[in-house]
Amino acid sequence: MDLEVCQLGLVSYAEALAVQEQLLVMRQQNRIGDLLLLLEHNPVITLGRKAKTEHILMPQEWLQKQQIEVYRTNRGGDVTYHGPGQIVGYMFIDLHHHGRSLRSFVHKLEQVFINLLERYYQINAFRDPDHTGVWVSQGKITAIGLAVKRWVTMHGFAFNVNTNLEHFRWIVPCGIADKEVTSLAVLTGREIDLQGVYQQVLHSFCEVFHYNPVMLTQAQLQSYLRSMSNEKAQT
């Protein structure tokens, strides 16, 4: 099965959320096939459906002064941070092709990063039975938060590669106060070539989910979105 993949670079959260909402509808209508966006965000805090506002530790005035935006979203999970050096994946996948089981889908998504860390970096990663995501002995390295609408996924994962971990002190990451957050750079003791990791993520994702990757240019993605906008304008 083909998976269209578009790498967007550094994108604001507001822009990415608007794109997600459009692509979700297009996938629900079978106007596009399964699709994965890979990107980075400017520093931003997002809250999932179960998030508690007290898990944001910095005052609102401080966040505004630092131009750190806060978004409440419809994904699962609590509060998290996104920023440069962190690979974010947003996926629009019809779960009818994956056993119609969100639990199984999340399990496979965790396996993507367990496999990646073992294969390319000889790092032992694992699941925590009480907390979704991927963990190593030093802490959480990949956060996962999804929403499913009419059997189609949106939102996705956040993999800490060269992420500034100091920024996680602004929040209680995923609402878990007694566990640390880590990154690939910290685990290896060096800054990582992010472009290389993008390819590793894509390879591991397609291997676990049995996809054939089809690269989509940003221009092609914009063409999809324009077709959606044009149709709305005509109705």
Give the residue numbers annotated as catalytic, written as ranges.
174
Helix (H, G, I), strand (E, B) or coil at 54: helix
CA distances from 66 to 5, 61, 63, 137, 170 (A): 33, 9, 5, 32, 12
Which amino acid is residue 202, in one-letter code?
A: L
Strands 35-41 vs 86-92: parallel, antiparallel or unpaired:
antiparallel
CA distance 31 to 131: 35
b/e map 129-162, b = 16+ CB within 10 Å: eebbbbbbeebbbbbbbbbbeeebbbbbbbbbbb
Which amino acid is residue 107, in one-letter code?
A: H
Q: Six-digit token pair at 2? A: 């083909």
CA distance 88 to 157: 6
